[in-house]
Chain A
Amino acid sequence: MITRRALAAGLPLAAVVAPAVQANTAPQRGTGDLGLVIERAAGSVLVVETTGRSILGRVEGLGDLSHASVVFSRDERFGYVFGRDGGLTKVDLLDRRIDRRIVQGGNAIGGAISDDGSLVAVSNYEPGGVRVFDAATLDLVADVPAVSGNAARSKTVGLVDIPGRAFVYTLYDAGEIWRLELPKNASPKITKLTNVGKLPYDANVTTDGRHYYAGLFGEDGVVHVDLWQEPLKATRVLDGYGRGEAPLPVYKMPHFEGWGATQGALFLPAVGRDELIVIDNATLQEAGRVATHGQPVFAVARPDGRHVWVNFAHPKNGVVEVVDTLSLKVIRTLQPGPAVLHLEFTPRGHEVWVSARDSDAVIVYDSRTFEEVARLPAGKPSGIFFTHRAHLIGR
């Protein structure tokens, strides 16, 4: 029906009719309940929605997605997928297609998006360093080789965004932590913390952007940087926390991404031990330990912080444990299927999606009753990433 207003405005008939037809074939929807599931072996991602718990479609052609991760644009329409082979793919979640894709390095490990949504940074193993791209066009904005003194280029890990168009990351080989600031209309600025420890293998920042923690593989301990205090300083905390005497062989490196953050405490996977270690953010001291089924890989807090869900390294990776953050006890053990690789909560935590690689399935649990509420087919699924990460610092 042509409205009087359209006629009064003198619009041609077609201009009024065309949008209505389009709206009928592709109904509008929001993106706040969408996400991407990595299909590790096939190099594809599933676009999923968490309200009806369904798969909306599959996007293919993203390259080697072992250890892939995703960050989202501020409007939650686009996911930036970081592939192992250096691929950076901008996926349109609404149209379910690749918007842009570049291969920016030889071997990459992850990335981050700046607080204003304009810059996407990628952490590279080969060539070691960080490259920063325009989030809209994926054009190169800055190339920052991780070169320390006379040493060779370092692999970079633990790349996170912090407020103020800035990123923090860690040099694995050199044992350094760098802050890279990219102010608008001014030169980039790098602040380097050297000799922080041996082989820092992963790192993360609290969601207030204040506490950056890096786990060490080459020695016992965790490195802490308080990003609110200038000049920046790296402090060793939890000496002897992890590997200690006769550590167990580590068949899968634990991840700091998705550590359990709750009530001022962090639940970190111990390296080479069957336990989580609790750090008090105020005192930077150990506040307790939680004995677990195996060596934890991810310890993910339910968004309210009441529980932490944990998965484990090979060969004990068929189990998920739920830890009560008040009693520091395991209160529930779930068996989603062999090779549980990742878990992701819905924005306010009512449900949690768990990828079970060797079952070719993603299993959705009610996070209060622990009942399985859905099971979705996915080819060798690994990481699960929901769009609300777009609005979290460091995620």
Chain B
Amino acid sequence: MLTGLSLSCLAGAAGADPQHRSRLADLVVQECGSCHGLTLRGGLGRPLTPEALADRPADLVRDIILDGLPGTPMPPWRPLLSEGDAALIADMLKNGDLP
């Protein structure tokens, strides 16, 4: 079921307006950074730099964001992020398009 939060995220992702993008980028750096490092070079979680993700297709990265990796601490973000948001984050990670 889509919550109000994810609906508004979806709408934002479709347009990918700069404000929404920067909110998502902030989420990646701050929240993903807790495990993957602020610079995304890894921590308890793997590195998420473009080089580290080079052999991972963007839709696989998106699906891991949405559904997590069972048996590891990587949680499913589906309750908090829309598919569009996850796809946008996957692109940002693969392109190194983060502040």
Contacts and interface: CB of A to CB of B under 8 A. Distances in A.
A372 interface: no
A84 B43 contact: yes
Contacts of B80: 251, 315
A251 B75 contact: yes
Contact of A66 (B37, B73, B77, B79): B37
Contacts of B43: 66-67, 84, 107, 109, 125
Given A172-B44, A249-B68, A253-B34, A64 B39 contact: yes
Interface residues on A, range: 20 to 34
Interface string A36-55: 00001100000000000000
B3 to A, nearest CB: 11
10 contacts: A41-B38, A65-B38, A66-B34, A66-B37, A157-B44, A250-B75, A251-B31, A252-B34, A253-B34, A339-B30
A252 B30 CA distance: 11
Contacts of B76: 249
A155 interface: yes
Interface of B: 29-31, 33-35, 37-39, 41-44, 68, 71-73, 75-77, 79-80
A64 B73 contact: no
B73 A201 contact: yes
A360 interface: no
Interface of A: 40-41, 64-67, 84-85, 107, 109, 125-126, 155, 157, 172, 199, 201, 217-218, 249-253, 314-315, 339, 357
A382 to B, nearest CB: 10
A314 B29 CA distance: 13
Given A84-B43, A155-B44, A249 B75 contact: yes
B12 to A, nearest CB: 16
A259 B72 CA distance: 23
Contacts, number: 64
B44 A253 contact: yes
Minimum-distance CB pairs A-B, first 4: A249-B75, A66-B38, A314-B31, A250-B75
What is the interface of chain B mostly: helix, strand, loop, or mixed?
loop
A339 B34 CA distance: 12
B71 A218 contact: yes
Nearest to B5: A315
B85 to A, nearest CB: 14
Contacts of B71: 218
A199 B30 CA distance: 24
A65 B75 CA distance: 23
Contacts of B73: 199, 201, 217, 250, 253
Nearest to A249: B75
A146 to B, nearest CB: 14
Contacts of A172: 44
B31 to A, nearest CB: 5
B48 to A, nearest CB: 13
A383 to B, nearest CB: 12
Residue in B35, B41, B73, B76 whose Cβ sees the most chain A Cβ within 10 Å: B73
B68 A66 contact: no
A136 B43 CA distance: 28
Contacts of A201: 44, 73
Contacts of A125: 42-44
A286 to B, nearest CB: 23
Given A249-B68, A252-B31, A107 B75 contact: no
A254 to B, nearest CB: 11
Given A172-B44, A250-B75, A67 B30 contact: no
Contacts of B44: 109, 125, 155, 157, 172, 201, 253
Contacts of B77: 249, 251
A107 B37 contact: yes
A64 B37 contact: yes
Contacts of A107: 37, 41-43
A41 B39 CA distance: 9
Contacts of B30: 339, 357
Contacts of B68: 249
A252 B75 CA distance: 9
Nearest to B76: A249
A218 B35 CA distance: 16
